[in-house]
Amino acid sequence: MKPIHIIQPPITQNVPIKQSKPIQNSTSFANMLTEAQQMVKISKHASQRMAQRNIEISPTEWQKIDDQLQVAKNKGLKESLFLTQNAALIINVKNQTVVTALDRQEASEQIFTNIDGAIIL
């Protein structure tokens, strides 16, 4: 006959759990998640191009781009050209990521392929 080993749970003290008070005027997780999902990201390549070409986009323009990106996403676009006053951006709509950037002068001399939409801001 084999010996029987009884395993007992560890003995712990009953320590009351301190209840924290809810934080007032905080942003809900759902709101924070929605905001994070709506922000336009910039790829490393696009960031380098913007730095090389001295392309600066104001927060107001980024907000317009973000707003129109949501419209493009709702229409089912995948890769789109976004034209601002001083830049042309190719944005992967699904990933909400700027893939590459050109200044407007350079963009006027280019042919854009593999895009399924153009948004002029």
State in Å, rounded, how far the first CA of the chain is from the last one.
84
Window from 5-9, 33-37, 91-95, 105-109 with minimum mean pLDDT: 33-37
pLDDT tens track for 59-70: 999 999 999 999
What confidence score (pLDDT) does residue 110 get? 87
Residue 7 CB neighbours (<10 A): 4
Backbone angles phi, psi at 11, to 5 degrees: -85, 125
pLDDT over 70, % of the chain? 72
pLDDT reported for residue 72: 95
Tokens of 111: 């042919």
65 within 8 A of 121, measured Cβ to Cβ: yes
Per-residue pLDDT at 7: 72
Per-residue pLDDT band for 15 (boundaries 50, 70, 90) equals low
Report how far residue 36's alpha carbon sits from residue 115's, in angstroms, rounded to the nearest whole number.
25
pLDDT at 31: 61
CB-count burial class (<10 Å; 0-12, 13-18, 19+) for 24: exposed
Average pLDDT over residues 12-37: 61
Confidence tier at 78 by pLDDT (50, 70, 90)? very high
